[in-house]
Amino acid sequence: MATLYRNPQLIPSTAAQGEGYTTYREPDTRVPPKAAPIVADVSVNGTVIPESEIRAEAQNHPAETPGAALRAAARALAVRELLSQEASRLGLSAAPRRDEAGRVETERDAAIGLLIEREVRPPMATEEECRRYYDRHPHKFRTEPLFEARHILLAAAPDDAEARAAARGRADRLCAHLAGRPEDFSALARDHSDCPSREHGGNLGQLTPGSTVDEFEAALAQMREGEISAHPVESPFGVHLIALDRRIEGEQLPFDMVADRIAAWLEASSWSKAVAQYIAVLAGEADIRGISLTAADGPLVQ
């Protein structure tokens, strides 16, 4: 059949070479494709922060995702560059200092520290402000309660149902014995407990909140001084019998004792806010690309 007409715009350039109507070409695998950057180019007033530095800095910014860690690292390095440029503009320099671990800061960081000391002057906390904070947060200024306790531990793994059942049975029998002879607690601890404290009659010494597992601590909180737990207490370690020998309730600390501590807290908070505001002002006047340094991004100072 004769071809009456062929639109030259629809004829592939390879058709003349006998390759049909397709223009597909196998990719050249000899040259690997260039990897896409993991973060956008970040620069401060034209000074680019290399991606390699951002990746290295990310290890200092734990986050839920690698991307979040990289963004936090980019912000931190951008802030550092911004402050370093301002220190250079003002002609500031300082001798590097050594921290408690013996590490010496860089001259750049020393200059940034001097810049912050010179330019950021947060207000001092007044006695009235400290007193107001004390009155609003009385729970922060109480001594922790103390418990002097003994226990008998019958060890059993949480996922071992058979061992757990056996431990509960033994604990119930010991509870029944102690109900009539509480003076035998220390002797029973030496004979039956799986805790090293058995060598001391089960004595755990003085306990404060947080020093034991939650289940044990909850049982102590409900017990009276001189009481032995009426029922076994289960925890991830096994089954416990508990004797509470002494209970010392926490006390409210007087304002005069904590005034200096409150002032330090308030001034530290004020300093952080003042530094963040100073950085925000510098950022507003700078040409920052690839990252945002607005307050909504979170803390800018570390």
Phi, psi of 72, deg, nearest 5: -65, -40
Q: From CA 67, how far away is CA 58, in angstroms rounded? A: 9
Of all residues in the chain, what percent carry a pLDDT higher than 70? 84
**Whether residue 203 sits in one domain with residue 148:** yes
Average pLDDT on 113-117 reads: 93
Q: From CA 8, how far away is CA 15, in angstroms rounded? A: 11
In a domain, 168, yes or no: yes
> Looking at the DSSP assignment, which residues form a beta bridge with residue 248?
146
Q: From CA 50, how far away is CA 302, in angstroms rounded? A: 21
What amino acid is encoded at 76 in this protein?
A: A
Condensed to tens digits (0 to 9), the pLDDT of residues 283-297 reads 999 999 998 886 434
**Whether residue 154 sits in one domain with residue 217:** yes
**Whether residue 166 sits in one domain with residue 102:** no
Would you call 53 helix, strand, or coil by DSSP? helix
**Whether residue 149 sits in one domain with residue 93:** no
More reliable by pLDDT, 37 or 164: 164
* Alpha-helical regions (H) of 17-126: 51-58, 66-89, 107-119
In a domain, 8, yes or no: no
What amino acid is encoded at 176 in this protein?
A: A
Residues spanned by the domain of 87: 42-123+264-297
**Whether residue 113 sits in one domain with residue 160:** no
**Whether residue 233 sits in one domain with residue 282:** no
Residue 116's pLDDT band (boundaries 50, 70, 90)? Answer: very high
Q: Is the pLDDT of residue 3 over 60?
A: no
pTM for the whole thing? Answer: 0.54
The C-alpha angle with vertex 216 and arms to 215 and 217, in degrees rounded to 5, equals: 90
Residue 78's pLDDT band (boundaries 50, 70, 90)? Answer: very high
Q: Work out the number of other CB atoms within 10 angstroms of the CB of residue 301.
A: 16
Q: Is the pLDDT of residue 96 over 80?
A: yes
In a domain, 255, yes or no: no
In a domain, 151, yes or no: yes
**Whether residue 169 sits in one domain with residue 233:** yes
In a domain, 195, yes or no: yes
Tell me how many domains the chain contains: 2
